[in-house]
């Protein structure tokens, strides 16, 4: 038994394994005969659930087709097909089951048929469950449709003029051409909407039968960069849009390489690198494939086509009169002869003429005038069109004449002062800047050949010798083989251009195609005649609608919130008769004025200003302008601010006045009080901001460090100062007119005389200046004998500026001007002695003696100047004892608030020890003798360096090799706690700025401006990266600098800086004339606040320190000179397309 049992168990298990499957299979199939009803019901339930899923998927497809123009995916299609089969199978099996039940109930005796129905229901039910488990979801239901070869574009409903049909046919012939060279066609025209409409017609020409696999229309990109163009093409092709610029370019290239394609780019305004976009090259007819590109630009940007290598240029000219009239009539939908209508016919003619042949505007104005029969509405439309299109037409016409007209050499733009001539000239300047030599010269009144030459030589960076004939040759030699555009702004009389040195003839040279053009602006048509202008362009006043928009922009919508105020504002705008300058200045004056009486007063002022009979007399017309803009002057908040404004006219016309220079003037005139060492400058700059806000003063310079008066506003200022045109003789200003000594000066009546910037060697005959209080003679060539004669009888003189003359001594007569408050003798390099009688100037508050060679200062001279508040003095050449005495005597003056002084580097600490307690605001350290190393930290131990020093200059030393900042052990840590400006210049031996035991952040915590120039052996400025408040950095003429900044230089030994953020506040970076500079910084150095980057004359520079992760997102302007330097830069992926819209070229 024990032997049999295991065998029996084995046999039983074996039989069970073999028999069970057969048994189960038999039993299952046997049951089908008895489970037909339940299986059919279960099959139907599962199928109904499947139908609900089907309905949901179908609704999703319908919704996406409607809202997204999507199509079902292949997965969704296959799933729906399987659902339909499953539903049909369930319905067929259920119908067969019901038929059998109706015949014999549920006990149909044919077991074979019951078996078949039940089995089918069971198997199909499993299939339904399988389909239910594979329902497509989310993104697998629909997808974007396959890109069509061409998308239909909505075109203007107005009929296309015949001239446009001809141009369309011409463009299409080029596009379908099989010529291998026909790749890019450039189309340009004045009317942007008309340009776009033509491109849309080109696109739609291929709707019925396309020769291209893809026609891609890129519509008017705001920023025509590689990235934006790629985005449009990727959307059109339906390909992936992720990745960087290079990755996307590869995808685009792969998609188009084996296709026929046409790419249409509308409104392009800058050079576009099509290869960087991903467009396959070469273009044309290549390997049986058509690769074509169409670019469209406004007339002012037609040069872009040449930069992109267009094979054919097509111009869209304005419509001729006949076509213009017909298009307008069709747009008005006038049934008969519109122009013969007795009520509106002439108005329609005038409106068509005002629109100047622009098709889209003819259609728009035409539709707006449909069924309009009253004359007033037509007149409003005419005025609007005349204003709107005359100005744009002026710009377009001028650009076209400069670009294309071979004979036209001189173009004249004329109109009254303040009407916008200079604005138009700036538009021309911007259009041609970087392409040819563009030379801007502000001519103004009293212009001369010599003055124009000086401007041109300065702009071309050429040296003159003062001789007109020699300078003419220098200019002619430079420009002889170059294209140039000379812009002469505000010319008052004829200038001999040949005497200036311009190569003749002007125009376009037929063989070389050199452009030699001159565009001038003037207030007088007679000047156009004298300059032999062949084409005159008048700049008209603004018309009603445009004038209102300009005024509203300046006054602010919040001010005009009340309907009562808006009504008055419109009356006020009407009274200003469309003069832009008046609209701007008065608009700013009325900003925030909410009382009705204020507006009524302004209207009365404007009405009175028009109560003079101009009789088309330019001078009387100018006086009317003055009376209008005087309203802004009248609304200045204080008499002090009004006087500050009036004194700006002492400088020459169109002079850019340094803010610090103007501040010193206002302080000297008593218009700004000297409270402490910094407050007078802060107050003065605040007043300048008030005048700028009132649009009476303009900010100038890349750092906004200068201001300027518009020439008409300056004329108005002098008109006010001279008794409102009565020429009362109180003010006499002949500044910047040149060394003409023939004019007469009303010495006996004048209180203010300005003859600055004239380079005069002697003065006209001198009378008795008994009333004279202010005399400005700076920037001349006058000596002490001439000055002495003027000052003999000037007893009331309180303000005297003799800076930048040729005085060899201080006249004795000057020392007897006991009422004198302000005296500037700076930059008279031959003054060596201060006379003892100088101490008589006991009311003197401001004294400037910089740039002199003073060696002798008698004792008790300085101490007698008891009212002195500000002194600028160089004590480099005096003996140690005299220097010490000067500083000690300054220390006795109770009212002294500001000291600016210069000492030698060699004995700086010793020299300044006597000045430790003085309020030194600005210190200049210059000229050591054989001193190799300078310890700047020694200066820090002096009190003024920590409390009052705002500006520090280290300059003009041939020997210093190292500037060292060292924190010695146990030494008290010091810092320049208020220093804002640091200048290091002309230290040709300097190799290192050494930091030992301290850091830039600790020493210069508030430094905002740093300038380093003429340090030809200095290799880097890495320490500047960590200055926490640095906003402006100028680096110039540093010949050994290959990389300006690096984290990893051996000199970077200050602790903790390597992890600090670099340049956290830097807004303005200038790199100029660094001839060895190859790169600017290491890649990990960032510029989070950079707004302006200037690069000039750095011939070896081949890369900028940016990649896509470190782009300066705040950058507004990238300026480069020469223009070729941009092309030689190696820029990373996406960087070029980011920088290019911000690129500006220097122009001469």
- CATH code of the domain in which 137 resides: 1.20.140
1102 inside domain: no
E strand residue ranges, 689-809: 698-700, 706-708, 731-733, 752-754, 774-776, 799-801
**Mean pLDDT of the 679-684 span:** 91
Assess whether 174 and 296 both reside in one domain: yes
Cα dihedral 694→699→705→707 (10° resolution): -80
CATH number for the domain including 180? 3.40.50.300
1046 inside domain: no
Res. 1039 pLDDT band, cuts 50 70 90: very high
Assess whether 281 and 195 both reside in one domain: yes
**Whole-angstrom distance, CA of residue 491 vs CA of residue 477:** 25
Domain boundary among the residues 634, 667, 684 is at 634
- Kindly give the residue spans of alpha helices, DSSP state H, lying in 257-309: 274-277, 303-307
**Whole-angstrom distance, CA of residue 952 vs CA of residue 1134:** 41
The Cα-based distances of 84 to 47, 87, 96, 767, 805 in angstroms read: 10, 5, 19, 114, 102
What pLDDT score was predicted for residue 686? 93
What pLDDT score was predicted for residue 399? 76
Give residue-wise pLDDT tens across range 1067-1090. Answer: 999 999 999 999 998 877 889 999
Assess whether 247 and 286 both reside in one domain: yes
Assess whether 188 and 311 both reside in one domain: yes
Return the structure tokens found at 851.
């740039």
Assess whether 296 and 328 both reside in one domain: no
Assess whether 182 and 274 both reside in one domain: yes
Give residue-wise pLDDT tens across range 783-805. Answer: 998 888 888 889 999 999 999 99
For the chain, what's the residue count? 1148
Give residue-wise pLDDT tens across range 829-882. Answer: 999 999 999 999 999 999 999 999 999 999 999 999 999 999 999 888 888 889
**Whole-angstrom distance, CA of residue 429 vs CA of residue 845:** 45
- E strand or H helix at 9, and its extent? helix 4-32
**Whole-angstrom distance, CA of residue 544 vs CA of residue 381:** 10
Res. 390 pLDDT band, cuts 50 70 90: low
Assess whether 47 and 99 both reside in one domain: yes
Assess whether 431 and 351 both reside in one domain: no
1094 inside domain: no
- Kindly give the residue spans of alpha helices, DSSP state H, lying in 897-1031: 908-912, 937-940, 943-947, 1000-1003
Q: Is 20 exposed, middle or buried (0-12, 13-18, 19+ CB in 10 A)?
A: exposed
**Mean pLDDT of the 499-522 span:** 88
Q: Are the CB atoms for 642 and 695 separated by under 8 Å?
A: no
Taking phi first (over 0 means left), then psi (-120 to 50 degrees means alpha), and beta for anything else, what does residue 130 get? alpha
Lowest model confidence (mean pLDDT) among 447-456, 715-724, 1139-1148: 1139-1148
The Cα-based distances of 123 to 26, 50, 91, 129, 131 in angstroms read: 16, 16, 14, 10, 13
Q: Of the spans 286-290, 627-631, 770-774, 823-827, which averages the highest pLDDT?
A: 823-827
- Phi then psi for residue 526, to 5 deg, are -65, -30
Coil, helix or strand at residue 605: helix
What pLDDT score was predicted for residue 2? 45
Q: Are strands 846-849 and 870-874 parallel, antiparallel or unpaired?
A: parallel
If one counts the domains in the chain, the total is 5
**Mean pLDDT of the 1051-1055 span:** 50
Res. 18 pLDDT band, cuts 50 70 90: low
CA 476 to chain centre: 33
Domain boundary among the residues 392, 423, 450 is at 392
**Whole-angstrom distance, CA of residue 447 vs CA of residue 493:** 7
Domain boundary among the residues 392, 424, 454 is at 392
- E strand or H helix at 507, and its extent? strand 507-508
Assess whether 189 and 269 both reside in one domain: yes
Asked if the model's pLDDT at residue 614 lies above 70, the reply is no
Nearest-5° angle of CA 93, CA 99, CA 101? 105
**Mean pLDDT of the 281-300 span:** 88
- Kindly give the residue spans of alpha helices, DSSP state H, lying in 998-1070: 1000-1003
| Cβ neighbours, 10 Å, residue 549 | 12
Give me the half-sphere count of Cα atoms (radius 13 Å) on the Cβ side of residue 942.
Answer: 22
807 inside domain: no
| Residues 6+ positions from 52 with CB-CB distance below 8 Å | none
**Mean pLDDT of the 989-1011 span:** 90
Which range marks the domain in which residue 625 is found?
553-634
Give residue-wise pLDDT tens across range 900-947. Answer: 998 876 666 677 888 888 999 999 988 755 555 677 767 777 888 888
Coil, helix or strand at residue 743: coil
Assess whether 421 and 534 both reside in one domain: yes
876 inside domain: no
Residue with tokens 């087709």: 65
What pLDDT score was predicted for residue 612? 42
969 inside domain: no
Assess whether 312 and 325 both reside in one domain: no
Q: Are the CB atoms for 1112 and 1093 separated by under 8 Å?
A: yes
53 inside domain: yes
Asked if the model's pLDDT at residue 27 lies above 80, the reply is no
- Which residue has better confidence, 294 or 72? 294
505 inside domain: yes
**Whole-angstrom distance, CA of residue 612 vs CA of residue 626:** 12
Assess whether 448 and 517 both reside in one domain: yes
- Kindly give the residue spans of alpha helices, DSSP state H, lying in 523-562: 525-530, 544-555
Asked if the model's pLDDT at residue 1056 lies above 60, the reply is no
**Mean pLDDT of the 1099-1128 span:** 84
Give residue-wise pLDDT tens across range 131-164. Answer: 888 888 777 888 777 678 888 888 888 888 999 9
């Amino acid at each position: 038994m024990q032997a049999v049992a295991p065998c029996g168990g084995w046999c039983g298990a074996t039989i069970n394994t073999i028999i069970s499957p057969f048994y189960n299979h038999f039993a299952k199939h046997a049951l089908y005969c008895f489970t037909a009803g339940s299986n059919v019901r279960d099959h139907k339930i599962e199928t109904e659930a499947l139908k609900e899923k089907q309905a949901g998927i179908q609704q999703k497809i319908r919704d996406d087709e409607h809202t997204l123009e999507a199509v079902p995916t292949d997965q969704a299609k296959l799933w729906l097909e399987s659902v339909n089969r499953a539903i049909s199978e369930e319905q067929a099996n259920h119908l067969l089951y019901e038929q059998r039940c109706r015949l014999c109930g549920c006990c149909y005796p044919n077991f074979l048929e019951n078996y078949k129905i039940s089995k089918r229901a069971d198997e199909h039910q499993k299939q339904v469950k399988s389909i239910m488990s594979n329902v497509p979801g989310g993104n697998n239901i629909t997808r974007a449709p396959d890109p069509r070869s061409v998308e239909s574009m909505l075109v203007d409903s107005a009929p296309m003029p015949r001239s446009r049909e001809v141009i369309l046919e011409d463009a299409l012939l080029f596009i379908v051409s099989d010529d291998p060279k026909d790749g890019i066609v450039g189309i340009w025209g004045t009317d942007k909407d008309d340009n776009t409409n033509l491109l849309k017609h080109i696109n739609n020409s291929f709707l019925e039968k396309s020769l291209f696999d893809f026609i891609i229309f890129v519509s008017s990109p705001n920023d025509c960069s590689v990235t934006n163009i790629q985005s449009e093409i990727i959307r059109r092709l339906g390909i992936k849009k992720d990745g960087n610029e290079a990755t996307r370019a590869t995808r685009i290239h792969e998609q188009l390489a084996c296709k026929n394609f046409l790419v249409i780019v509308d409104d392009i305004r800058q050079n576009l690198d099509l290869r960087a976009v991903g467009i396959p090259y070469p273009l044309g007819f290549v390997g049986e494939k058509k690769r074509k590109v169409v670019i469209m630009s406004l007339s002012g940007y037609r040069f872009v086509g040449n930069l992109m290598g267009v094979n054919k240029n097509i111009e869209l000219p304005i419509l001729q009169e006949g076509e213009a009239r017909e298009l307008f009539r069709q747009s008005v939908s006038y049934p008969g002869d519109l122009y013969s209508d007795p009520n509106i016919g002439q108005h329609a003619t005038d409106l068509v003429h005002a629109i100047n042949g622009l098709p889209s505007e003819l259609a728009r104005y035409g539709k707006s005038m449909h069924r309009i029969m009253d004359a007033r509405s037509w007149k409003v439309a005419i005025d609007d069109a005349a204003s709107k299109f005359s100005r744009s037409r002026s710009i377009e016409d001028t650009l076209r004449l400069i670009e294309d007209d071979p004979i036209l050499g001189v173009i004249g733009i004329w109109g009254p002062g303040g009407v916008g001539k200079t604005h138009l000239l700036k538009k021309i300047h911007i259009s041609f800047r970087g392409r040819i030599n563009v030379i801007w010269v502000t001519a103004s009144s009293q212009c001369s050949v010599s003055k124009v030459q000086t401007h041109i030589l300065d702009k071309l960076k050429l040296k003159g010798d003062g001789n007109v004939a020699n300078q003419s040759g220098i200019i002619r030699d430079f420009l002889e083989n170059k294209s140039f555009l000379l812009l002469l702004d505000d010319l008052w009389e004829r200038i001999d251009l040949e005497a200036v040195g311009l190569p003749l003839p002007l125009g376009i040279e037929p063989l070389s195609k050199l452009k030699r053009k001159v565009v001038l602006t003037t207030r007088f048509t007679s000047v156009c005649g004298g300059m032999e202008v062949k084409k005159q362009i008048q700049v008209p006043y603004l018309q009603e609608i445009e004038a209102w928009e300009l005024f509203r922009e300046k006054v602010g919508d919040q001010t005009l919130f009340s309907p009562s105020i808006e009504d008055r504002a419109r009356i006020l705008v009407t009274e200003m008769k469309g003069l832009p300058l008046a609209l701007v200045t008065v608009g700013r004056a009325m900003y925030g004025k909410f009382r009705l009486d204020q507006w009524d007063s302004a209207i009365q002022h404007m009405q009175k200003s028009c109560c003079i009979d101009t009789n088309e007399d330019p001078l009387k017309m100018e006086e009317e302008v003055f009376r209008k803009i005087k309203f802004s002057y009248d609304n200045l908040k204080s008499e002090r601010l009004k006087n500050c404004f009036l004194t700006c006219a002492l400088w020459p016309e169109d002079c850019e006045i340094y803010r610090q220079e103007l501040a010193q003037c206002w302080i000297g005139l008593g218009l700004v009080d000297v409270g402490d060492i910094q407050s007078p400058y802060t107050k003065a700059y605040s007043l300048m901001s008030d005048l700028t806000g009132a649009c009476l003063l303009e900010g100038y310079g890349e750092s906004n460090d200068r201001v300027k008066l518009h020439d008409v506003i300056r004329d108005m200022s002098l008109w006010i100062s001279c008794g409102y045109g009565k020429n009362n003789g109180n003010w006499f200003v002949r500044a910047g007119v040149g060394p003409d000594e023939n004019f007469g000066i009303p010495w006996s009546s004048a209180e203010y005389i300005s003859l600055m910037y004239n380079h005069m060697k002697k003065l006209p005959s001198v009378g008795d200046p008994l009333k004279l209080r202010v005399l400005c003679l700076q920037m001349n060539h006058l000596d002490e004998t001439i000055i002495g004669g003027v000052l003999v009888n000037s007893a009331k003189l309180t303000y005297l500026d003799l800076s930048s003359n040729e005085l060899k001594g201080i006249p004795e007569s000057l020392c007897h001007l006991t009422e004198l408050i302000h005296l500037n003798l700076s930059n008279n390099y031959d003054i060596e002695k201060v006379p003892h009688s100088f101490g008589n100037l006991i009311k003197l508050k401001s004294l400037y003696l910089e740039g002199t060679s003073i060696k002798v200062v008698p004792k008790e001279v300085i101490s007698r100047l008891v009212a002195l508040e500000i002194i600028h003095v160089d004590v480099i050449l005096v003996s140690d004892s005299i220097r010490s005495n000067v500083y000690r005597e300054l220390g006795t003056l109770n009212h002294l608030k500001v000291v600016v002084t210069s000492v030698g580097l060699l004995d700086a600490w010793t020299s300044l020890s006597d000045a430790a307690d003085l309020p030194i605001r600005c210190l200049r350290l210059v000229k050591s003798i054989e001193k190799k190393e300078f310890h700047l930290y020694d200066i820090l131990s002096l009190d003024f360096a920590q409390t009052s020093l705002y500006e520090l200059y280290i300059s003009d030393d041939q020997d210093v090799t190292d500037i060292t900042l060292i924190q010695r052990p146990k030494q008290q840590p010091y810092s320049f706690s208020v220093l804002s400006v640091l200048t290091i210049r002309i230290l040709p031996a300097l190799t290192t700025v050494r930091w030992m035991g301290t850091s830039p952040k600790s020493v210069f915590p508030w430094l905002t401006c740093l300038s380093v120039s003429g340090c030809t052996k200095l290799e880097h400025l890495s320490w500047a990266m960590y200055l926490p408040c640095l906003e402006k950095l100028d680096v110039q003429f540093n010949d050994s600098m290959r990389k300006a900044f690096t984290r990893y230089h051996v000199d970077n030994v200050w602790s903790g800086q390597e992890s600090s953020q670099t340049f956290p506040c830097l807004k303005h970076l200038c790199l100029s004339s660094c001839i060895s500079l190859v790169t600017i910084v290491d890649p990990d150095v960032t510029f989070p606040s950079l707004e302006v980057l200037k690069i000039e004359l750095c011939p070896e520079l081949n890369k900028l320190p940016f990649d896509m992760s470190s782009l300066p997102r705040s950058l507004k302007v990238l300026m480069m000179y020469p223009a070729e330097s941009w092309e030689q830069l190696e820029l990373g992926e996406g960087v070029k397309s980011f920088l290019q819209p911000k690129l500006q070229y220097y122009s001469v």
